[in-house]
Amino acid sequence: MKKIAIVFASAGLMALAACGGTPANETANASNEAIENVVDNAAAVADNAADVAANAANVAENAANAM
């Protein structure tokens, strides 16, 4: 859900940057920054997924040790 919100927020920011009377360079910079944020957030999601998998493995190992 957060990923979708981030994508829509970045698209909205790019749309606002394109609609303004700013020079093309500033618009390009804003678009690039929004894309970088999406990529950074995707990397964070991947890291979190890896952490969840590691935690699940630890839970399984702890359950096996308890028996």
Q: What is the DSSP string of the chain?
A: -HHHHHHHHHHHHHHHHHHSS--HHHHHHHHHHHHHHHHHHHHHHHHHHHHHHHHHHHHHHHHHHH-
Rounded mean pLDDT of the chain?
81
**Looking at residue 28, what is its pLDDT?**
77
**Looking at residue 62, what is its pLDDT?**
93
**Looking at residue 30, what is its pLDDT?**
81
Task: Tell me which residue range forms the domain holding 58.
Answer: 2-66
Residue that wins the pLDDT comparison between 9 and 38:
38
Task: With beta carbons less than 8 A apart as the criterion, state whether 5 and 47 touch.
Answer: no
In the chain, the number of structural domains is 1
pLDDT tens track for 21-48: 556 677 777 888 888 888 889 889 999 9
